[in-house]
Copies of this chain bind each other. A is one copy, B any other.
Amino acid sequence: MINKLTIIGLGLMGGSLAKALKAQQAVSEVVATGRRVESLERGLQLGVIDSYSLDMAEAVADADVVVIATPTLIAEKIMLELAPLMTPNMIVTDVASVKGNIERAAEKIFGEVPSNFVLGHPIAGSEQSGVDAATVDLFLDHRVILTPLENTSGAALSLIQSMWEACGAEVVRMDVAEHDAVLAATSHLPHVLAYTLVDALAQNGAAADIFRFAAGGFRDFTRIASSDPTMWHDIALANQAAILNGIDGFSAHLNKVRAAIASGDGDAIFATFDRAKRARDEHFLGQYLARQKKSPSS
């Protein structure tokens, strides 16, 4: 049970966390702070938070847990502002999609990442953004990755883990570099590819026709290109090295597929498509079976 939770940056993530914890009665008081008073006012109207303050010092005073829920690059700046306000009894966590840049920023500000700062990343989202899009079940059955460091306090880690578990999430621990590489592959790279494809087509002279005849496959494939561009701009810069690595691996593979199509090498084309289908089906079918197995006892 958290007595006072302060959310810095009230949007989809922070709002959904507040809703879920309130629904589970896992928090007594939720306070928010941020720069956009409209979001804070809206959060109050919606009952997502109990109060807000534009003054960060006031908002975080006596908080048990402070969640930095701003876009990635702003999170770095927030830490600078938060540093003098942190007390030993306050546990700080974040929800940013990249962990390496947060770790580096914290090291710059504090010398080393404070033991009561737990780096975290809930793997959940939506192409919608803002507190209006917040839902009570955004994290339900989703994974939250925590990337504790050697000096991270066991008590702080355990409290943040409980907080996410109260939202119905499964918490997994991983090291920072592994997290950033895995997320680059499964999330950041697909976003870059989807944005790139839609932008390339939109600049085509026949764009209207192209979009007009797009079917369900295109709709799904490009859904993530409707994500918040500010957030993804931040992620592209924050996880630069791992994303460049992902783009290069993808491009090298695409060149091979291109060569197979150009030379009419049907066997190579089929082998690629077939391996991909098997890998995807096996993965998602595996997940499906695991859920089926889990259901009766849960």
- Assess whether B220 is in contact with A223, with CB atoms less than 8 Å apart: yes
Contacts of A67 in B (CB 8 A): none
* A219: interface (CB < 8 Å): yes
Q: Is A280 an interface residue (CB 8 A)?
A: yes
**CB-CB < 8 A to A273: which residues of B?**
195, 199, 225, 229, 232-233, 236
* Interface-facing stretch out of A56-64, A101-109, A149-157, A208-216: A208-216
Q: How far is the CA of A218 from the CA of B224 in the complex (A)?
A: 9
B233 and A258 form a contact (CB under 8 A): no
Q: A240–B261 contact, CB under 8 A?
A: yes
Evaluate contact between A218 and B237: CB separation under 8 angstroms: no
Question: Least Cβ distance of A159 to chain B in Å?
Answer: 23
Residues of A at under 8 Å CB distance from B? Answer: 123-125, 142-143, 145, 172, 178, 181-183, 185-187, 189-204, 206-207, 209-211, 213-230, 232-233, 236-237, 240, 243-244, 247-251, 253-254, 257-258, 261-262, 264, 266, 269-270, 272-277, 279-281, 283-284
Inter-subunit contact A270/B187 (CB<8 Å): no
Q: Work out how many copies of this chain go into the complex.
A: 2
Q: A247 near B258 (CB under 8 angstroms)?
A: yes
Known: A197-B253, A247-B257. 4 other contacts (CB 8 A): A186-B218, A193-B221, A194-B221, A236-B269
- B250-A200 in contact (CB<8A): yes
What B residues does A275 contact at CB under 8 A? 199, 202-203
Complex formed: what's the CA distance from A216 to B280 in Å?
13
The answer to whether B183 and A237 have CB atoms under 8 Å apart is: no
Bound complex: CA A135 to CA B250 (Å):
36
A186–B214 CB distance below 8 A: yes
A191 touches B217 (CB 8 A): yes
Ranked 6 nearest A-B pairs via Cβ = A202-B279, A229-B273, A198-B276, A200-B253, A199-B276, A229-B274
Is the beta-carbon distance between B276 and A261 smaller than 8 angstroms?
no
* Identity of the chain B residue whose Cβ is nearest the Cβ of A278 in the assembled complex: B202
- Using known A-B contacts A196-B250, A254-B196, determine if residue A215 contacts B182 with beta carbons closer than 8 Å: no
The distance from the CB of A94 to the nearest CB of chain B, in whole angstroms, is: 18
